[in-house]
Amino acid sequence: MAQIIKELERHPDQFKSLVCVTAQHRQMLTQVLDLFDIQPDYDLDIMIPGQNLFDVTSNVLKGIKPVLEKERPDFVLVQGDTTTTLAAALASFYLHIPVGHIEAGLRTGNMLEPFPEEMNRKVSGVLADIHFAPTPWARDNLLREGVPPERIFVTGNTGIDALLMSVEKIQAEQELRSSLERQFDFLNPNKRMVLVTCHRRENFGPKLESICQGLRMLASQNQDIELVYPVHPNPNIREPVNRILGDGNSKNIFLIEPLEYLPFIYLMQRSVLILTDSGGIQEESLSLGKPVLVMRDTTERVEALQTGWIKLVGTDSDRILLESEAALRGTEILSAKGLQQNMYGDGHSSELIISHVLDYLKTEHCL
């Protein structure tokens, strides 16, 4: 949402924009706000130890109610598939405030994968007044669900706006680039680096343990690579990851703390292969020309699979090993082939979205 906020700020004569954050992950939020120079107008501060989906949903609903009642906005923008998105859209609906859903229309067809994100995204779509779909495939999903075509706009994804801006910043600022290189000077420049992320709720438990076993085998059987895994702070992630991968026996596995945005982008650029269960990384990798193996059984980025750069491999340890080794052998072929264009955006999605919001508000006589 950072680029959306910045785009709104460029039109002070047409918009008064207000930012509300939940601070569900305070540390991870703060570094993004600092990077993009965003000062929230409201901070719900809902983080409590051991919180679950009931806590997050109810606390966002209760926290945002007085904000919406005080400000009475003409329009509310929500993004993606988080529980915050669902709760904010529902609260706006209760108060008869129109909602725009950014990154709308992504579907796996399985309500339990990703969990609860598939449900969050579908319900937010029911509540939304206008939908900003990143691709024609996402638009078609919404049309099949009965959304009027005049309420859907294909805009690309604002996450690509932020990514391209950050890549340009890293390339342009020598001091920043040198600082990032020093941050990861523990990596061997003569070895290929594989970047790993894993945090999805549906992978908690046996699936995550199987993923970790696959990563362990990959590292032990391929000493010419290094695995770098920024570990999510959730205890359901940290315990099995540290137990299986953090025993110190694998010298080419690096478990590190969660990264700020720019260092993570730097590692994505430096990697030869990415193993992840993230949705956004599937999109970002296409802009960076990095092959990705998705450690899930489903993906809402179905069109990405058709590029050949993204592949679903599930969570079975043996398959993760085999597919990773095959991908490592094929990275040079993919790089030589090249990627013509990222279907998820060209860096101008925020401008398109705000233009459509302006048209909507004019049509509804809010401006």
Residues 210 and 267 in one domain: yes
What pLDDT is attached to residue 263?
Answer: 96
Q: pLDDT tens digit string along 311-362?
A: 999 999 999 999 999 999 986 556 545 555 678 999 999 999 999 999 999 8
How much is the average pLDDT of 148-175?
A: 95
**pLDDT above 70 for 365:** no
The model's pTM: 0.89
Would residue 301 show up in a list of annotated catalytic residues for this protein?
no
pLDDT-derived band at 122 (thresholds 50, 70, 90) equals: very high
Q: Is residue 171 part of a domain?
A: no
Give the neighbor-by-neighbor strand order of the sheet with 292-294.
253-256, 225-230, 192-196, 273-276, 292-294, 310-312
Active-site choice (81, 113, 277, 284): 81
Catalytic residue among 151, 232, 348, 356: 232
Q: Taking a C-beta distance cutoff of 8 angstroms, is the pair 137, 303 a contact? A: yes
49 Cβ neighbours under 8 A, 6+ residues apart: none
Whether 311 and 262 map to the same domain: the answer is yes
Same domain, 187 and 137: no
Domain extent at residue 102: 2-157+345-363
Q: How large is the average pLDDT for residues 105-120?
A: 94
Q: Flag whether 304 is in a domain.
A: yes
The pLDDT of residue 23 is: 84
In a domain, 163, yes or no: no
Residue 232 annotated among the catalytic residues of the structure: yes
Same domain as 226, residue 125 = no
> Could you tell me what percent of the chain has a pLDDT over 90?
83
- Residue 236: which residues within 8 A CB-CB, separation 6 or more? 201, 204, 205, 208
The pLDDT, as a whole number, for residue 367 is 55
User: Are 323 and 354 found together in one domain?
Assistant: no
Residue of 101, 107, 113, 117 with catalytic role: 117
* One domain, residues 90 and 238: no
Q: Are residues 146 and 21 in the same domain?
A: yes
Same domain, 355 and 294: no
Number of folded domains that form the chain? 2
pLDDT of residue 64: 97
Surface-to-core class of residue 206, CB atoms within 10 Å of its CB (0-12 exposed, 13-18 middle, 19+ buried): exposed
Six token digits for residue 62: 């209760």
pLDDT confidence bin for 212, thresholds 50/70/90:
very high
> Is 103 one of the annotated active-site residues of the chain?
yes
Among residues 7, 103, 118, 277, the one annotated as catalytic is 103
The verdict on 242 and 118 lying in the same domain is: no
For the record, the structure tokens of 223 come out as: 């000493």
Half-sphere exposure of 273 (CA within 13 A, CB side): 27
Predicted pLDDT at 30: 87
For residue 318 the two structure tokens come to 């043996």
Which one-letter amino acid corresponds to residue 244? I
Let me know if residue 192 belongs to a domain: yes
Q: Tell me: the pLDDT tens digits for 229-272? A: 999 988 999 999 999 999 878 899 999 999 999 999 999 999 99
Question: Which domain CATH number covers 264?
Answer: 3.40.50.2000
pLDDT of residue 341: 67
Decide which of 79 and 28 is more confident: 79
HEC profile of the chain:
CHHHHHHHHCCCCCCCCCCEECCCCHHHHHHHHHHHCCCCCEECCCCCCCCCHHHHHHHHHHHHHHHHHHHCCCCEEEECCCHHHHHHHHHHHHCCCCEEEECCCCCCCCCCCCCCHHHHHHHHHHHCCEEEECCHHHHHHHHHCCCCHHHEEECCCHHHHHHHHHHHHHHHCHHHHHHHHHHCCCCCCCCEEEEECCCCHHHCCHHHHHHHHHHHHHHHHCCCEEEEEECCCCHHHHHHHHHHHCCCCCCCEEEECCCCHHHHHHHHHHCCEEEECCCHHHHHHHHHCCCEEECCCCCCCHHHHCCCCEEECCCCHHHHHHHHHHHHHHHHHHHHHCCCCCCCCCCCHHHHHHHHHHHHHHHCCCC
Please indicate, yes or no, whether residues 71 and 141 belong to a single structural domain of this protein.
yes
Residue 214 sits in the same domain as residue 131 = no
Do 88 and 202 belong together in one domain?
Answer: no
Residue of 199, 216, 270, 301 with catalytic role: 199
Average pLDDT, the chain: 93
Would you call 117 a catalytic residue per the annotation?
yes
17: in domain: yes
Domain assignment of residue 167, yes or no: no
Q: Is 25 a catalytic residue?
A: no
Look at residue 138 and tell me if it is in a domain. yes
Domain assignment of residue 162, yes or no: no
**Given the residues 25, 192, 201, 238, the one annotated as active site:** 201
Q: What is the structure's pLDDT at 205?
A: 94
